[in-house]
Chain A
Amino acid sequence: MSDSGSSSTSGDDNIDQDLDLTSKPIEEQLASVQLTLSDTEPSASQEVVNGIANGSVNRSNQLEIDEPVQGNSEDALDEVGVHLERGVVWGRIVSELEKDGPPSPSSSGYAGERGSSSGTSGLGIDEVEDEILEVRNRDSVNEVSDSPAAWVPGKRHENEDDASISWRKRKKHFFILSHSGKPIYSRYGDEHKLSGFSATLQAIISFVENGGDHIKLVRAGKHQVVFLVKGPIYLVCISCTEEPYESLRGQLEFIYDQMLLILTKSVNRCFEKNPKFDMTSLLGGTDVVFSSLIHSFSWNPATFLHAYTCLPLAYATRQAAGTILQDVADSGVLFAILMCRHKVVSLVGAQKASLHPDDMLLLANFVMSSESFRTSESFSPICLPRYNPMAFLYAYVHYFDVDTYLILLTTSSDAFYHLKDCRIRIKMVLLKSNVLSEVQRSLLDGGMHIEDLPVDPLPHLGSSSHLDQHRLPTDSPERFKEPYAGVGGPAGLWHFIYRSIYLDQYVSSEFSSPINSTRQQKRLYRAYQKLYASMHDKGVGSHKTQFRRDENYVLLCWVTQDFELYAAFDPLADKALAIKTCNRVCQWVKDVENEIFLLGASPFSW
């Protein structure tokens, strides 16, 4: 790596070129775009050679499922904590910028300055946060000394750009750029090297905008290019994953909202003051938040169902957790959320405040993807885009154990010590009522297993936990009565998702044979995604039932006023039996709804 000084100058040159580009008439722009594209061809083939020669692969991160096998990877994990903290600090910088007017050109994009500015601005923040800030400052120092290139957002395949064949072959690209064509984020490759490509995307978008229209989608063979314009922020996805347009667009919305969660919408004002504002600095170090969100698009059904899911727990256990959270909420906390990984244990909100499932997903992703939250209690400004995209809330985050964490949200920036007290009280109650150990047990047991689908649909009386009951020895022979043992549940049932409409919650069965590998699971989610998009077409209106069979699955979807059921069967499954099985699944879910859903949660009574 060359020293940061020289590389930043070259970055500067690129940017100047971009500005020249934008001043040309659009026709010329597009023409020149073509020229540059064809010019890069020869160098692209060189890149391949290099790519293979360099071929050292350090793919420590499981987030990389979409990628082709070859390619280098730059491991950013050890810097995650640092970056995250900086991301949080920069959240504040935004507001500073608003006060101070547009940043001078020299302070807008370079490592040294950014490093120091985060340090100094950090010092200016309320004393309340000192204990957190100390950590931050230490990190900033480390960062400057240990990793001089840390200002380049840590990411995999950093050496790639649009001329590399490996980059072009990645299955799913995501880009954020500014309306002047400056790159803000790219899932793969170095943003600065991609400034030419970014200018191309900008040229396409503004060419169509200048014609009084807005580009949404370009289809080419297996590839789709999806565009989303959010004021001065442009988002683009280039994908060959066969996901429907509606899903990809939804994912871009999520990425935009994740950005808002870190910065709030007031970032728009920076662009109003200076259209060529360079935003990469504000998001530096948050790569891991975005990559983890992008990863969740391929495994987390919440991303297309727009609902959240709960950790299965005995009703009384969840009640106990809810009661203490409610206590806390009454003392001036806006939302109190207890989560285990991406599942909700319990949550309550202050009166009239409601939390959108998408906000929960983004918040959980932000917390879980940031290593630093695990190591200490943190107090961070965050924005819930569906709640109020303009304002910061303050999140107190604390991990009780490796999986279970508490998020307390407040509007007050000096509530740290109050929230810390709340956390101590909550922890005591949780320990006393064994909630934390129950949570661990539930993690081990898992949720609904299709093999346990009751044969007779009558509710089992006198049981505190239906989920557990079916794992009792007396019940197990029942399971094997079905001739389908070993290939999923009865009637060839492989998996299901049940979404309760009025609860905004869903429950997804545990994966079992033959959907074993992550690849198969991802494929099934994509099939569900397609089915979801097809069922909820905006133009035609929602369908009521859908049966769909291809060489991989039989999929059944049933939408009523109260719930939506998505079920996957063996492709050879019998229709009549499959329908019967779906009815049984619905009954089963109703029987155990006390354990799998959070009932009577106040935030959702609008």
Chain B
Amino acid sequence: MGLSSAAAIASEAIQLCIFDLRRGQHEGQELDKILFFFPAGLPFSKQLSVIGLSEGLITFTRIFSPEAACEVIEAERHRHVFYESEPDVWMVMVVEKSNDSEAIWRDDALRKVLKEVHSLFVMFHGSIRALLEKEPGGELARRHLYSFIMDYLRDFLVGKKLLLPSFRDCLKERGTVQMLTIGREAAIEVQSLVRMLESCAGNSSCYSLILFQDLLVSTTLSPDDTINLFTYAVLRLTPHALSSGVSSWSYLRKGNTGSNFATESILAHSRSVSDSFYGSSDTSPDGDTHHHVVRPLQHDKWSKGKDGYLVTDIWGAEVGNWAYATPTVWLQQTQEKMYLCAYQHRNLTLILLVPVSIILNGEQGVSVVKQQVLENASLKILKVEEKLSKGWGGENAYHVSGYRYLLVDGDRNVSRASPAGKVATLNKDSLLSMSKVREEVDLEKNRAKRDGSGCERDLEFCIRAKNNAWVIARVTRGKELYMVLEKANETLLYASDAVEKFSNRYCNGAFSLD
């Protein structure tokens, strides 16, 4: 009983829905619009009221702003963040502003959560629209969305609460890749490893991604596909993800893995209520082959096999074979379906993507490729891992003392930030101020994007906050730098100098003034 009442509280705080404006346009068929709703246990009348308001405001705002409909509704107690993930398919997240002073968000950060879960969904299941076209009743899309998003949301559970990225995460950028900095020699080694890997399928249309711990070393994928696969790898595949069973994106979550019991019951509670609507009979995922929904984000499903390859039963087992089926993903850029093979050696994770179309005999063909990799590249992998481990500076490798920073390269979708543990030492007021400044920068950036002309905005903010911290934002030529300096001298020139030094030393002078 205690747990279910806790669930009710938790579910009040956050709602997430997906609806299709092309469906349910006739009276009495409104339920048809709803493709996903969290918490699913909420009465349909309430679900429809959230969607009705969203739909009403999308229509209303189009009167004045036909090119960009409703993005945010801010009310005294709630904030609704909108994201049109596919034409007419809208995702809306409703967060409650409680008295809890932690409940302060940045719209763009929340929108990036929506964007991330949608991109990952499409990578595994294809577009929502395609699912709806495949099965116009919507059952198929609902089932897939339900299990996928619930698995995704589980990553945000801390104790009994879903913790979304708040102001405390203002020195982080979702939807970007974090890179490992490597020397020239190591880079050459990695290069030749990549060539070796991709030649194993005997075809040049293979792609690969190499990670060291949770950092990207190399990719041959398009930027968008890189982000998706990198995100998935960090969530489920890297040594860290395998060992903790919990993603590493938020330091708030660290050391909270013991609360899985409560976690499960909260999400399970809301699930049981509307099974019939979402058709989510995945309580026995392995048994029921008719309704089998692949759940790529399911927890604790990946493990490292004896041969070094990562295995999972998520994609089921091939009939008449003891081996697990190889996962497949859709590439956004080429719209090609690929087999995903992941190999791990100590800190090194290699992901090889092989087009399904060129493997003629299914799983058998895949294992031939895998075997090929082991035979050709094993030594090289050992060597590269060794080299990278030697050069690795540890968890605080990218800490710059005195600075708390986030550096984003928008053109390459790459970011680097102070280690989470260091950011956590900042005063709450500093973080709040930074979050606010980022909000302002977001607005300016979005404006520039819309105007088209001013894509390359050049901005500088340098604020001495109430608590005497310097809160700094610089945007120039598609690059962004955010910085908090606490215990710094009070003059503006001192703060500018600090930025200048940082820029010259760590950003090739990108933010330096001539």
Question: Do B492 and A575 have beta carbons less than 8 Å apart?
Answer: yes
Chain A residue contacts of B385, Cβ below 8 A: none
The answer to whether A353 has its CB under 8 Å from any CB of chain B is no
Instruction: Give the Cβ gap from A148 to chain B, nearest Cβ, in Å.
Output: 32
Chain A residue contacts of B387, Cβ below 8 A: none
The answer to whether A539 has its CB under 8 Å from any CB of chain B is yes
Question: Do B73 and A218 have beta carbons less than 8 Å apart?
Answer: yes
Closest residue of A by beta carbon distance from B107: A219
Contact code string A531-565 (vs B, CB < 8 Å = 1, else 0) = 00010010111111111111100000000000000
Question: Do B492 and A550 have beta carbons less than 8 Å apart?
Answer: no
Question: Do B462 and A546 have beta carbons less than 8 Å apart?
Answer: yes
Question: Do A543 and B464 have beta carbons less than 8 Å apart?
Answer: yes
Categorize the interface residue count of chain B. 35 or more
Question: Do B454 and A168 have beta carbons less than 8 Å apart?
Answer: no
Task: Give A300 to B46 CA distance when docked, in angstroms.
Answer: 45
Chain B residue contacts of A30, Cβ below 8 A: 52-53, 55-56
Question: Do A220 and B71 have beta carbons less than 8 Å apart?
Answer: yes
Question: Do A540 and B440 have beta carbons less than 8 Å apart?
Answer: no
Task: Give A216 to B49 CA distance when docked, in angstroms.
Answer: 18
* Known A208-B53, A547-B492; contact A221-B454, beta-carbon cutoff 8 A: no
* Known A207-B56, A216-B76, A547-B492; contact A542-B466, beta-carbon cutoff 8 A: yes
Chain A residue contacts of B69, Cβ below 8 A: 220-221
Chain A residue contacts of B55, Cβ below 8 A: 30, 34
Question: Do B73 and A215 have beta carbons less than 8 Å apart?
Answer: yes
The answer to whether B68 has its CB under 8 Å from any CB of chain A is yes
Chain B residue contacts of A240, Cβ below 8 A: 64-65
Task: Give A168 to B433 CA distance when docked, in angstroms.
Answer: 36
Question: Do A550 and B465 have beta carbons less than 8 Å apart?
Answer: no
Closest residue of B by beta carbon distance from A245: B74
Question: Do B73 and A217 have beta carbons less than 8 Å apart?
Answer: yes
The answer to whether A78 has its CB under 8 Å from any CB of chain B is no
Chain B residue contacts of A225, Cβ below 8 A: 60-61
Task: Give A300 to B76 CA distance when docked, in angstroms.
Answer: 29
The A-contacting residues of B in range 411-457, CB under 8 angstroms, are 429, 432-433, 436, 440, 444, 447, 450, 454, 457
Contact code string B453-474 (vs A, CB < 8 Å = 1, else 0) = 0100111111111101000000
Question: Do B462 and A219 have beta carbons less than 8 Å apart?
Answer: no
The answer to whether B281 has its CB under 8 Å from any CB of chain A is no
Task: Give A536 to B77 CA distance when docked, in angstroms.
Answer: 22
Task: Give the interface centre of A33, A162, A218 by most chain B CB atoms within 10 Å.
Answer: A218
Complex partner residue of A222 from B68, B436, B461, CB under 8 angstroms: B68
The answer to whether B319 has its CB under 8 Å from any CB of chain A is no
Instruction: Give the Cβ gap from B432 to chain A, nearest Cβ, in Å.
Output: 5
Question: Do B75 and A216 have beta carbons less than 8 Å apart?
Answer: yes
The B-contacting residues of A in range 561-587, CB under 8 angstroms, are 575-576, 579
Task: Give A575 to B499 CA distance when docked, in angstroms.
Answer: 13
The answer to whether B6 has its CB under 8 Å from any CB of chain A is no
The A-contacting residues of B in range 169-190, CB under 8 angstroms, are none
Chain A residue contacts of B461, Cβ below 8 A: 546-548
The answer to whether B104 has its CB under 8 Å from any CB of chain A is yes
The answer to whether A127 has its CB under 8 Å from any CB of chain B is no
The answer to whether A213 has its CB under 8 Å from any CB of chain B is yes
Question: Do A544 and B60 have beta carbons less than 8 Å apart?
Answer: no
Question: Do B454 and A544 have beta carbons less than 8 Å apart?
Answer: no
The answer to whether A338 has its CB under 8 Å from any CB of chain B is no
* Known A547-B460, A547-B492, A548-B462; contact A217-B72, beta-carbon cutoff 8 A: yes
Chain A residue contacts of B107, Cβ below 8 A: 219
Closest residue of A by beta carbon distance from B55: A34
Question: Do B65 and A220 have beta carbons less than 8 Å apart?
Answer: yes
The answer to whether A339 has its CB under 8 Å from any CB of chain B is no
Closest residue of B by beta carbon distance from A530: B440
The answer to whether B1 has its CB under 8 Å from any CB of chain A is no
Task: Give the interface centre of B73, B450, B461 by most chain A CB atoms within 10 Å.
Answer: B73
Instruction: Give the Cβ gap from B107 to chain A, nearest Cβ, in Å.
Output: 8
Instruction: Give the Cβ gap from B99 to chain A, nearest Cβ, in Å.
Output: 13
Task: Give A575 to B56 CA distance when docked, in angstroms.
Answer: 48
Chain B residue contacts of A545, Cβ below 8 A: 462-464, 492
The answer to whether A444 has its CB under 8 Å from any CB of chain B is no
Question: Do B78 and A213 have beta carbons less than 8 Å apart?
Answer: yes
Question: Do B65 and A223 have beta carbons less than 8 Å apart?
Answer: yes
Question: Do B457 and A539 have beta carbons less than 8 Å apart?
Answer: no
Instruction: Give the Cβ gap from A588 to chain B, nearest Cβ, in Å.
Output: 20
Question: Do A221 and B429 have beta carbons less than 8 Å apart?
Answer: no
Contact code string A11-31 (vs B, CB < 8 Å = 1, else 0) = 000000000000000110011
Question: Do B450 and A222 have beta carbons less than 8 Å apart?
Answer: yes
Task: Give the interface centre of A38, A240, A548 by most chain B CB atoms within 10 Å.
Answer: A548
Chain B residue contacts of A168, Cβ below 8 A: 63-64
Question: Do A220 and B64 have beta carbons less than 8 Å apart?
Answer: yes
The answer to whether B199 has its CB under 8 Å from any CB of chain A is no
The answer to whether B360 has its CB under 8 Å from any CB of chain A is no
The B-contacting residues of A in range 200-235, CB under 8 angstroms, are 200, 203-204, 207-208, 211-223, 225
Question: Do B65 and A213 have beta carbons less than 8 Å apart?
Answer: no
Question: Do B64 and A204 have beta carbons less than 8 Å apart?
Answer: no
Complex partner residue of A540 from B71, B450, B465, CB under 8 angstroms: B465
Task: Give A537 to B454 CA distance when docked, in angstroms.
Answer: 27
Question: Do B457 and A544 have beta carbons less than 8 Å apart?
Answer: no
The answer to whether B59 has its CB under 8 Å from any CB of chain A is yes
Closest residue of B by beta carbon distance from A27: B52
Contact code string A389-407 (vs B, CB < 8 Å = 1, else 0) = 0000000000000000000
Complex partner residue of A200 from B60, B72, B433, B493, CB under 8 angstroms: B60
Instruction: Give the Cβ gap from B74 to chain A, nearest Cβ, in Å.
Output: 4
Complex partner residue of B458 from A27, A220, A550, CB under 8 angstroms: A550
Question: Do A544 and B464 have beta carbons less than 8 Å apart?
Answer: yes
* Known A545-B464, A546-B463; contact A551-B59, beta-carbon cutoff 8 A: no
Complex partner residue of B459 from A203, A242, A549, CB under 8 angstroms: A549
Question: Do A219 and B429 have beta carbons less than 8 Å apart?
Answer: no
Question: Do A38 and B59 have beta carbons less than 8 Å apart?
Answer: yes
Task: Give A168 to B458 CA distance when docked, in angstroms.
Answer: 31
Task: Give A33 to B56 CA distance when docked, in angstroms.
Answer: 7
Complex partner residue of B436 from A38, A537, A542, A579, CB under 8 angstroms: A537
Complex partner residue of A218 from B61, B432, B433, B493, CB under 8 angstroms: B61
Question: Do A37 and B59 have beta carbons less than 8 Å apart?
Answer: yes
Closest residue of A by beta carbon distance from B460: A549
Closest residue of B by beta carbon distance from A533: B440
Instruction: Give the Cβ gap from A241 to chain B, nearest Cβ, in Å.
Output: 11
Closest residue of A by beta carbon distance from B470: A545
The answer to whether B70 has its CB under 8 Å from any CB of chain A is yes
* Known A31-B52, A539-B432; contact A208-B75, beta-carbon cutoff 8 A: yes
Task: Give A203 to B56 CA distance when docked, in angstroms.
Answer: 10
5 closest Cβ contacts across the A-B interface? A221-B68, A220-B61, A545-B464, A30-B56, A549-B460
Since A222-B450, A240-B65, A551-B458 are in contact, a sample of 18 more A-B pairs with Cβ atoms closer than 8 Å, ordered by chain A residue number, is A27-B49, A34-B59, A207-B56, A208-B53, A218-B57, A218-B61, A221-B71, A530-B440, A534-B436, A539-B432, A543-B433, A545-B464, A547-B462, A549-B458, A550-B457, A550-B460, A575-B492, A575-B496
Between A and B, 8 residue pairs with Cβ closer than 8 Å are A30-B52, A204-B60, A207-B49, A219-B107, A221-B61, A534-B463, A537-B436, A540-B465
